[in-house]
A and B are shown apart, each in its own frame.
Chain A
């Protein structure tokens, strides 16, 4: 289809679809079968289980499976802790996304401004952080901030201050780790994007006397928009689903559950005690929230006249 096509032609094509309409589907079939098997079917099962009473007793045949309607959802929404955890998750994820993007973009710009050796060093450091498994990274960070043996307290002269005792200080500690292990993706992607921007444009802006910040805001950011959209959505999804860091660093949700996020809450509430149906309900709620956020974000961009 050419872009120059008029609406009239388009309508005509629609009326012809009756005959050859199934051909594209035939070509798409292999991909669709794989997608259906790997994506639609599990989501369907997730939805189905969320309407049943389905615990270990049902799986191993100790008790019959029964239909609960919206019972699992009612139980979930009736739990005041769920709402607190949801709020904490949204705020925490938002803080992580903003920090990750800020650090990632700033370092990407820095990469384009420095010489080869420091660039290589920064790249290697970032790749190292990226390649570190989340559980290793979390354990190392925890050790760095350990009240008894950690070097951070020694350097800062904080004695045996415990970083994980206070709610906000524990969240801040986890935020640092999350940013540390997810900024490299943003940095590398944005750096690649910047390298693809024609040099003349940047040169012209520089000749016009634009500052570094001005170049980023008025030239680079708009040109990098599609890339920024992708990394933002990725970051939102990752940070909303954060599990390992919280689970390891706050010992399963912090003191008296003060650092619980939705994924850890789901694990404790549902999977550790084999209440698969309640876990599925939490899964469905998370899926819907992420879908709404992603679609809302895409819509917002489209309204501003961007096509993806």
Chain B
């Protein structure tokens, strides 16, 4: 009986194998099954019809909608037969939405807002339209600040117009500084010293709240020491030639890593808690009154105002190495771009200019507090609103940008830099070994993105 059963089992298996083989063969012969690739280019340039726009849905989006409505109304008045449909997409799912738009050009919008660290990646994906000629010919663009311009430039070509910039500076507790008789730090060494003094006097507080996963808070330390994240090889024009090699293991960058990671410890921000913190965590800690200082953005203003420390803090630019120097900050922000698949090229570019114009950016600042990307507009708003002054100072001192390489998205997503900081903080590796490993991973990514 056992034998019969066994034979039956073997035969069934043989039959099944044959069927599977047949199916796989059928699949292989049907070459239509190759993975999908879409064509995002477009030749037509219609002068009438509906333009579709995707903008980010911000927290408290209404004031932004009003500004956009006005800009759109003015645009429609100027262009007969053109209408505009604006859709606000949630920030959390923007990556999927925009990828989907690239994959399906038929249902894609004409104009999009996008984060400026995504520029190089979207260009490589073939999603964004090259508008170098239009941008160079645009009168207002001569006042665009160079860092913002760099954030829309890849390989010397321009792929959008900067909409606003976001930059970080040093938030500190005025009440605490008064009580302890502390001066506002003027150099990086003083900053670290002050942080320890606060912690020593108030053991329940972090001196300066830092996070092992707070890459944009750590970068100014590397830049202040003259280090770079990556060097462009054979620099050709603005934005480089496209080929990058990592520089996080250079002696200058290592000094910056050393300085930042020295802030993790029981004398400022205990490693067990701070090694895993992100930028948001540090700002939350500061807003809740759990830190003497923090590195926060102009965009963190609302969160801090809503916290316990309202009215008890002030902001100054993050100090550099020497007195009077400002540590270069990371210039975050958003751009407006035109999709390569648009069938309304001229109209879409005009609409982009309208949405990113000096007028709209000035109104957006009033409505949302977004810092303008034009140096003259920014100077104007700094006069009206003293709060933004330290941020404008930081930008004017020269902010920096991440490498304009499509590999950056990959380096960011695979947490190369947080891992490096955390390895040093936890003592798993020394600065030389951790930065060497990070440089190797970055170079792998740069090479594979070429």
Which residue of chain A has the shortest Cβ distance to B408 in the bound complex?
A: A273
Point out the residues of chain B lying under 8 angstroms from A272, CB to CB: 413-414
Interface stretch (choices A42-50, A83-91, A185-193): A42-50
Point out the residues of chain A lying under 8 angstroms from B102, CB to CB: 56, 59-61
Taking the complex as formed, is B35 at the interface, i.e. its CB lies under 8 A from any CB of chain A? yes
Count of chain A residues near B, Cβ 8 A? 49
- How many whole Å from B211's CB to the nearest CB in chain A? 11
Are B23 and A40 within 8 A (Cβ)? yes
Taking the complex as formed, is B103 at the interface, i.e. its CB lies under 8 A from any CB of chain A? yes
Taking the complex as formed, is B91 at the interface, i.e. its CB lies under 8 A from any CB of chain A? no
Interface stretch (choices A5-13, A122-130, A282-290): A5-13
Which residue of chain B has the shortest Cβ distance to A164 in the bound complex?
A: B276
Are B37 and A65 within 8 A (Cβ)? yes
Q: Is chain B's interface secondary structure helix, strand, loop, or mixed overall? A: helix
Point out the residues of chain A lying under 8 angstroms from B213, CB to CB: 251
Are B35 and A10 within 8 A (Cβ)? no
Taking the complex as formed, is A268 at the interface, i.e. its CB lies under 8 A from any CB of chain B? yes
Are B35 and A5 within 8 A (Cβ)? no
Taking the complex as formed, is A292 at the interface, i.e. its CB lies under 8 A from any CB of chain B? no
Point out the residues of chain B lying under 8 angstroms from A162, CB to CB: 272-273
Are A63 and B124 within 8 A (Cβ)? yes
Count of chain B residues near A, Cβ 8 A? 51
- How many whole Å from B450's CB to the nearest CB in chain A? 11
Given contacts A60-B126, A62-B127, A255-B276, whether A32 and B35 have CB atoms under 8 Å apart is no
Are B415 and A58 within 8 A (Cβ)? no
- How many whole Å from B264's CB to the nearest CB in chain A? 11
Are A44 and B24 within 8 A (Cβ)? yes
0/1 interface trace, chain A 238-260, chain B, CB 8 Å (1 if under): 00000000000001111111000
Which residue of chain B has the shortest Cβ distance to A163 in the bound complex?
A: B272
- How many whole Å from B205's CB to the nearest CB in chain A? 13
Given contacts A1-B8, A61-B39, A62-B40, whether A165 and B271 have CB atoms under 8 Å apart is yes
0/1 interface trace, chain A 187-212, chain B, CB 8 Å (1 if under): 00000000000000000000000000
- How many whole Å from B43's CB to the nearest CB in chain A? 14
0/1 interface trace, chain B 209-240, chain A, CB 8 Å (1 if under): 00011000000000000000000000000000
Are A10 and B8 within 8 A (Cβ)? yes
Taking the complex as formed, is A269 at the interface, i.e. its CB lies under 8 A from any CB of chain B? yes
Point out the residues of chain A lying under 8 angstroms from B36, CB to CB: 59
- How many whole Å from B359's CB to the nearest CB in chain A? 33
Q: How far is the CA of A144 from the CA of B195 in the complex (A)?
A: 30
Are B272 and A253 within 8 A (Cβ)? no
Which residue of chain B has the shortest Cβ distance to A256 in the bound complex?
A: B422
0/1 interface trace, chain B 69-107, chain A, CB 8 Å (1 if under): 000000000000000000000000000000100110000
Taking the complex as formed, is B307 at the interface, i.e. its CB lies under 8 A from any CB of chain A? no
Taking the complex as formed, is A14 at the interface, i.e. its CB lies under 8 A from any CB of chain B? yes
Point out the residues of chain B lying under 8 angstroms from A160, CB to CB: 272-273
Are A62 and B125 within 8 A (Cβ)? yes
- How many whole Å from A281's CB to the nearest CB in chain B? 14
Given contacts A59-B103, A273-B410, whether A7 and B4 have CB atoms under 8 Å apart is yes
Q: How far is the CA of A162 from the CA of B144 in the complex (A)?
A: 47
Residue numbers of B with Cβ under 8 A of A are 1, 3-5, 7-8, 11, 19-20, 23-24, 27, 33-41, 99, 102-103, 121, 123-127, 212-213, 271-273, 275-276, 406, 409-410, 412-415, 418-419, 422-423, 425-426, 428
5 A-B contacts, Cβ less than 8 Å apart? A62-B40, A63-B126, A65-B35, A162-B272, A273-B410
Residue numbers of A with Cβ under 8 A of B are 1, 3-7, 10, 14, 25, 32, 36, 40-41, 44-45, 48-49, 52, 54, 56-65, 147, 160-162, 164-165, 251-257, 268-269, 272-275, 307
